Amino acid sequence: MSNANTNTGNLDRLFHPAAHYASPEDVLNDDELSVPEKRIILSSWASDMFAVESDPALREIPGTGHTVRLADILAALRRLDGDDDPPRPGGIPMRLRRPWAAARADRS
């Protein structure tokens, strides 16, 4: 049987995270939050709803009083997944060579 008062602190952190955390690092370092709870907070911060209109790479989280870089939020989410590496560049220019071009290169 759980005590309803023990969970109110975590619920307040989930519903009003800006009142408790100033940065993605603060969220990651809170030992009282589970990984899914941390993911909920960080994912909400990454939402386009908080994007700064003149600079979409920034997020303006109500209650923090400062902007947060989207890259920092995404890096924190990757750390939750155990992937500390930054995302690799992608897109058409970075795609692997066509298989027949790779086969020709192997013959030389």
Residue 105 lies in a domain: no
Instruction: Provide the domain count of the chain.
Output: 1
Q: Three-class SS of residue 95?
A: coil
- Look at residue 30 and tell me if it is in a domain: yes
Identify whether 10 is part of a domain: yes
Asked if residue 49 is part of any domain, the answer here is: yes
| Total Cβ atoms within 10 A of residue 22 | 14
- Look at the pTM and tell me if it is higher than 0.85: no
pLDDT per residue of the chain (108 residues) written in tens, 0 to 9: 334 444 455 656 767 777 788 899 999 999 999 999 999 999 999 998 889 999 999 999 888 888 999 999 999 999 998 876 666 665 555 555 555 555 555 555
The pLDDT value given to residue 4: 42
Nearest Cα to Cα of residue 22 among 53, 52, 45? 45
**In whole angstroms, what is the distance from residue 16 CA to residue 72 CA?**
20
**Is 100 within a domain?**
no
Instruction: Show the domain range for 27.
Output: 4-85
Residue 37 maps to a domain? yes
Identify which of 36, 15, 14, 38 has the alpha carbon closest to the alpha carbon of residue 25. 38
Asked whether 52 and 41 are in contact (CB, 8 A), the reply is: no
Specify if 103 maps to a domain.
no
